[in-house]
């Protein structure tokens, strides 16, 4: 993937914003992702970060969950709600609490001179497949790889230097991914391209951190407001609850499509599938980072704090324990999602070395939606995703 100082500078501006700032959530997410790419591009820095993460397991751990070292692949089905994560350029699948990790991506890449790095992973909505990006630092060769939970490859395709920012379709049959020249490629799980769509002019150019989808899978949703039909017809702007793209407005749908949170300016409005008002959220949040599987709650970051919002009432609950156990300047860097049962939230922590240095003390934690029981899941990484089988929705 290609990296620019512009996105790194945007991240710095977002992090330095005053407490009243309302920097667009997509900007924050994009910037966080780009800084990690800068780290991943240097083998020496990657080794240093992972070494520090592993050495700090016991110091970071706040509960009884052991951060077991990954083991070589063993036969057996993936548990419901399995945690997948990227560590030291490889992909692992573990129990939901991070224990019993198995490395599933240990096949050499013959097209890469030197070591390839596997990052940015995501379970399909039906929990049957895992997609991740394979980067070759010695060239512009970037691939998307789709496997089953045991690492057996079912499809892969090259993105030729693009490929960052991808999302699964709601029915788990396709992946949308940014490609060079501001186009969006749509691929089947077998790796075959099904469509190549230009970014519509209504977006004004530029990529977000992943082409989203409309709930019925018939169109892509870019930046939370630009709809791009897969049949090639003209794109258009989504109109929901006074959505105003000029104010950084975004629409984020719940997994089942029955609710949508609309961010406009400094407020969030929750609507049902027909566009009728469900609730108006009190307080100033940073947008919607993740929905619970049942669409009853969503999580948000605001001024460094983790918040959980009850979608039906709009009530905001701050979870102070999520940051209480952090030390050494660590902060919450992103929310990775809810557990399949919707009772816990996975989030990433860490901090950057002085002077814009590398990310250190990276780790994945989880916490109950009631704000209790913050636990370390995996040390040494901030990339992870919980599998959410459909039966839990």
Number of H helices and E strands in the chain, helices first, is 5, 28
- What pLDDT, on the 0 to 100 scale, is given for residue 33? 37
Q: Which of 7-11, 131-135, 186-190 has the highest mean pLDDT?
A: 186-190
- Residue owning tokens 């989504």: 238
Strand partners for 363: 349, 379
Q: Which of 13-27, 52-66, 254-268, 372-386 has the highest mean pLDDT?
A: 372-386
For the chain, domains (ranges, CATH) are: 1-74+281-393 (no CATH), 107-238 (2.130.10.10)
Pick from 112-116, 225-229, 371-375, 387-391: least confident: 112-116
In the predicted structure, residue 299 carries a pLDDT above the cut 60: yes
Residue 165 contacts residue 183 (beta carbons within 8 Å):
no
Tens-digit pLDDT profile for residues 366-376: 999 999 999 99
Residue 286 pLDDT greater than 90, yes or no: no
Chain centre to alpha carbon of residue 154: 22
Q: What is the pLDDT of residue 142?
A: 78
Burial 99-133 (b: 16+ CB within 10 A, else e): ebbbbbbeeebeebeebbbbbbbbbbbbbbbbbbb
In angstroms, the Cα distances linking 123 to 84, 128, 134, 233, 242 are: 8, 8, 15, 29, 32
> Quick count: other Cβ atoms within 10 Å of Cβ 306?
24
Strands (DSSP E) along 246-304, which ranges? Answer: 250-253, 259-264, 267-272, 277-280, 290-291, 297-302
Strands (E), 105-234: 117-123, 130-135, 142-147, 153-158, 166-168, 174-179, 183-188, 193-198, 212-213, 219-222, 226-229
Tokens describing residue 333 = 């860097």
Q: Give the Cα separation of 362 and 348 in Å (integer).
A: 7
Q: Render pLDDT for 180-207 as a digit per residue (tens, 0 to 9).
A: 777 899 999 999 999 999 887 655 544 4
Which runs of consecutive H residues, i.e. helices, occur in the chain?
5-15, 25-40, 43-55, 57-60, 321-324
Task: Tell me the C-alpha distance between 133 and 313, whole Å.
Answer: 38
pLDDT in tens, 136-161: 766 666 788 999 999 999 999 987 65
Note the pTM of the prediction, 2 decimals: 0.77
Q: Which two tokens stand for residue 325?
A: 């156990």
Phi, psi of 174 (to 5 degrees): -145, 160
């Amino acid at each position: 993937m290609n990296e620019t100082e512009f996105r790194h500078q945007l991240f710095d501006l977002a992090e330095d914003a005053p407490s009243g700032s309302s920097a667009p959530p997509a900007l924050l997410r994009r910037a966080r992702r780009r800084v990690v790419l800068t780290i991943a591009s240097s083998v020496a820095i990657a080794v240093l970060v992972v070494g520090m993460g592993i050495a700090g397991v016991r110091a970071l751990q706040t509960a009884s969950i052991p951060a077991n070292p990954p083991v070589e692949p063993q036969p057996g089905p993936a548990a419901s709600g399995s945690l997948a994560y990227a560590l030291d350029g490889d992909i692992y699948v573990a129990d939901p609490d991070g224990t019993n990790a198995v490395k599933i991506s240990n096949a050499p890449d013959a097209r890469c001179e030197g070591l390839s790095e596997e990052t940015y992973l995501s379970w399909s909505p039906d929990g049957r497949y895992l997609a991740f990006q394979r980067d070759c630092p010695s060239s512009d060769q970037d691939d998307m790889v789709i496997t089953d939970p045991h690492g057996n490859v079912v499809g892969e395709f090259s993105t030729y230097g693009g490929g960052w920012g991808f999302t699964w379709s709601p029915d788990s049959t396709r992946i949308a991914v940014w490609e060079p020249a501001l186009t969006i490629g749509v691929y089947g799980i077998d790796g075959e391209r099904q469509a190549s769509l230009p970014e519509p002019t209504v977006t004004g150019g530029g990529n977000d951190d992943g082409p989203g989808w409309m709930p019925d899978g018939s169109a892509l949703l870019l930046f939370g407001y630009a709809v791009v039909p897969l049949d090639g017809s003209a794109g258009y702007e989504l109109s929901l609850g006074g959505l105003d793209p000029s104010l950084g407005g975004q629409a984020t749908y719940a997994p089942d499509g029955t609710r949508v949170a609309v961010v406009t300016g400094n407020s969030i409005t929750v609507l049902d599938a027909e566009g009728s008002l469900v609730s108006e959220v009190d307080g100033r949040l940073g947008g919607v980072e993740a929905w619970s599987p049942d669409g009853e709650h969503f999580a948000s970051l605001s001024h460094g704090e983790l918040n959980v919002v009850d979608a039906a009432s709009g009530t905001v609950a701050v979870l102070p324990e999520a940051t209480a156990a952090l030390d050494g300047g660590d902060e919450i860097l992103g929310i990775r999602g809810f557990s399949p049962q919707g009772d816990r939230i996975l989030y990433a922590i860490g901090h950057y070395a002085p002077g814009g240095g590398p990310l250190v003390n990276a780790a994945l934690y989880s916490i109950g939606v009631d704000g209790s029981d913050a636990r370390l899941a995996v040390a040494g990484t901030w990339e992870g995703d919980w599998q959410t089988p459909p039966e839990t929705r």
